[in-house]
Amino acid sequence: MIRQALQPHVDQPRPTVRPAQQAPDRQRQRRDKWRFPIDRRSGIVPQMHWEWPTIVIFLLGIVNFALNRAVFDSRHPLFSRLPRASQRLGSRAALASEFAVLFFALLLSVNGWPRFVWAYLVYTLLNGVAAWLILARKV
C-alpha cells in the first residue's frame, strides 16, 4: 500500500527539472576565494614524490633528539656550573626548539619543498659536530 502511494500515476506528467537540480557536471565550478598565488607553483614545478624527503627528515629529527639528550645527560662541566633550575629549563627549551625546527622542516617538505631535506641534513651534521665536541670534552 505504501509502495503504491509513492509511485506516480500514469496520467500525471513528469515534473520538469530545474537548472539547479541538473547533474553536477553541468554546474559551474565556483572559484576558491582563499587561493593564494603561491598555490600555483604545483603546475610549474614537476610533481615530486614527497615521501622520501619526509621520511629522511623524520629520521634525522630522531637523530637530533638523541644528540640533544646525550649532550644534556653527559654531565659536562659546562652544564654543572649552571643552577639545577637553569639546567632543567635549558633542556626543555632546547627540546622545544628542536621540535619546532623538525615540525617546520616536515611541513616544508610535505608542502612542495622536498629539497629542504638537504638543509635539514646540514643542520643535523652541525648538531652532530657540536655534540661530538661536547661529548668528547673538546670544549
Given a cut of 60, is residue 83 above it in pLDDT? yes
Burial class, 19, CB count within 10 angstroms (exposed 0-12 / middle 13-18 / buried 19+): exposed
pLDDT tens profile 91-130: 899 999 999 999 999 999 888 888 889 999 999 999 999 9
131 pLDDT band (50/70/90 cuts)?
very high
Question: Using one digit for the tens of pLDDT, what is the confidence trace for 8-57?
Answer: 555 655 555 555 545 555 555 555 555 555 555 555 455 555 588 899 99
The CA-CA-CA angle for residues 114, 115, 118, to 5°, reads 125
Q: Could you give the percent of the chain with pLDDT greater than 90?
A: 39
Domain boundaries defined on the chain = 48-135
